[in-house]
């Protein structure tokens, strides 16, 4: 088939699979190939996240993140229904511990209302106890439609849709080269070089490197932050019915420790957020020299670090002593004890950072008519995956300069 009818998607996480699926369905005359460097789909951020389907509480109204989150929830609910993927609307409360936090919480409520979050409301202490009997706070924001899902199962179901639409999934194929020559894009893997008319890169933790290989600016850079979780013992899981979150502290760049119910009924506590020694160092403290050199050689990281010393100290304490997780969590669920937890999973966040040391908060999608890069898709990236795919493919089909 001529390259004018061929399209490639790089990355087998939920965003890449969603994009490939949408492209195969929307541009039926195009041959779609998905490249994933691992031997399975959803091997990285998709398979290491909390499983939360975010409702859109925090995001700036009118931002791409806010719009795609709300649309993403709609599309995700349709997909889990169609495929029988486990999904539960367990609800979420964001808890204020004092009047200062309560003031910030009212501002979050206003954002949530502006974003069209269904059923969201502020509740007092008595109502908190009615939803989460073991939680304590002076005020809370209740989001009854916030849900949890099996993102790995959903990704694999979407990949079956892709195959059914005529697309191909190639596992164990790492893309090492990407070059546009006229109306063709040359894509190189260990198996050789092929030409495509359109390439959409959804490379997550490697998105900045792949964009640079293709001739894009080096920034924003990916700086990997790991997040560890503790697991509550099943005997203590009754202390939490759904999701219990803190009010975000504007002094810190990350959300803080929260309690998250999983589909199997266990409850996670966490995560912290600390600089990872490798972009894919999920087990122990595996040191990856290239990853560390790139972070330490990036002036933006040092500017970020200088502005966030208190946050670094706080996160270092949880990294060195997991009991700090319990101390933080007990502010919201006092009945929780240190002997009721065990070490749980680790995730690594592909956090984009600019040269000024600012964390890039919104989704960043860049490129040309022939190569598109998803350079930043932080939380709620998984929630928004199907909407991100709709957004990208709609624009690609509209242009059709590549077909």
What is residue 3's predicted lDDT score, i.e. its pLDDT? 55
> In the block, which residue shows the tokens 């502020």?
122
What is residue 317's predicted lDDT score, i.e. its pLDDT? 80
The CA–CA distances, whole Å, from 399 to 101, 214, 319, 394, 395 equal: 47, 20, 48, 9, 6
What is residue 396's predicted lDDT score, i.e. its pLDDT? 84
**pTM reported for the whole predicted model:** 0.95
| Rg over CA atoms, the chain | 21
Same topology between domain 3-47+152-220+361-399 and domain 88-141+221-353? no
What is residue 1's predicted lDDT score, i.e. its pLDDT? 41
The CA–CA distances, whole Å, from 149 to 52, 118, 248, 253 equal: 6, 18, 23, 26
What is residue 313's predicted lDDT score, i.e. its pLDDT? 83
Torsion of CA 392, 394, 396, 397, to 10 degrees: 160
What is residue 402's predicted lDDT score, i.e. its pLDDT? 62
Backbone phi and psi for residue 259, each to the nearest 5 degrees, phi listed first: -115, 125
Q: How far is CA 266 from the centre of its chain?
A: 21
Torsion of CA 148, 153, 155, 160, to 10 degrees: -140
What is residue 321's predicted lDDT score, i.e. its pLDDT? 81
Q: Tokens in use for 289?
A: 């020299």
Backbone phi and psi for residue 390, each to the nearest 5 degrees, phi listed first: -60, -45
Block means of pLDDT (10 residues each) for the chain, length 403 residues? 77 98 91 98 96 96 95 98 98 97 97 97 96 97 98 98 97 97 94 96 97 95 94 94 93 83 95 93 87 97 92 80 86 92 93 96 89 94 98 84 62
What is residue 178's predicted lDDT score, i.e. its pLDDT? 97
Domain boundaries, the chain: 3-47+152-220+361-399, 88-141+221-353
Q: How far is CA 308 from the centre of its chain?
A: 22
- CATH fold, domain 3-47+152-220+361-399, is FAD/NAD(P)-binding domain (3.50.50)
- CATH fold, domain 88-141+221-353, is D-Amino Acid Oxidase; Chain A, domain 2 (3.30.9)
What is residue 190's predicted lDDT score, i.e. its pLDDT? 95
């Amino acid at each position: 088939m001529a390259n004018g009818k061929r399209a490639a998607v790089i990355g087998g996480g939920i965003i890449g699979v969603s994009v490939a699926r949408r492209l195969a369905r929307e541009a039926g005359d195009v041959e779609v190939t998905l490249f994933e460097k691992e031997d399975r789909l959803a091997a990285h951020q998709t398979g290491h996240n909390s499983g939360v389907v975010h409702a859109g509480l925090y995001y700036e109204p009118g931002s791409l993140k806010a719009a795609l989150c709300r649309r993403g929830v709609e599309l995700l609910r349709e997909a889990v229904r169609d495929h029988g993927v486990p999904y539960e609307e367990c609800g979420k409360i964001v808890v204020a511990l004092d009047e200062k936090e309560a003031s910030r919480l009212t501002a979050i409520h206003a954002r949530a209302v502006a974003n069209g979050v269904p059923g969201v409301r502020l509740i007092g202490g008595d109502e908190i106890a009615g939803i989460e009997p073991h939680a304590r706070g002076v005020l809370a924001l209740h989001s009854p439609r916030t849900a949890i899902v099996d993102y790995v199962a959903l990704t694999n179901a979407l990949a079956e849709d892709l195959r059914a639409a005529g697309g191909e999934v190639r596992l164990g194929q790492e893309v090492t080269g990407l070059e546009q020559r006229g109306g063709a894009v040359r894509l190189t893997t260990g198996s050789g070089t092929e030409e495509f008319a359109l390439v959409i890169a959804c490379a997550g933790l490697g998105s900045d490197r792949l964009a640079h290989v293709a001739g894009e600016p080096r920034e924003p850079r990916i700086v990997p932050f790991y997040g560890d979780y503790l697991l509550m013992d099943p005997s203590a899981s009754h202390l939490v019915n759904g999701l219990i979150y803190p009010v975000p502290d504007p002094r810190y760049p990350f959300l803080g420790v929260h309690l998250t119910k999983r589909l199997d009924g266990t409850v996670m506590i966490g995560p912290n957020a600390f600089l990872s020694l490798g972009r894919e160092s999920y087990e122990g403290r595996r040191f990856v020299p290239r990853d560390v050199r790139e972070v330490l050689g990036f002036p933006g990281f040092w500017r970020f670090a200088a502005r966030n010393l208190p946050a670094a100290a706080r996160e270092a304490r949880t990294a060195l002593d997991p009991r700090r997780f319990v101390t933080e969590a007990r502010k919201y669920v006092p009945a929780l004890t240190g002997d009721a937890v065990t070490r749980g999973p680790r995730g690594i966040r592909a956090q984009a950072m600019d040269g000024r040391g600012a964390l890039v908060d919104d989704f960043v999608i860049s490129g040309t008519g022939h190569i598109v890069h998803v350079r930043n898709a932080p939380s709620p990236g998984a929630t928004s995956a199907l909407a991100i795919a709709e957004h990208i493919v709609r624009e690609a089909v509209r242009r059709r300069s590549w077909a």
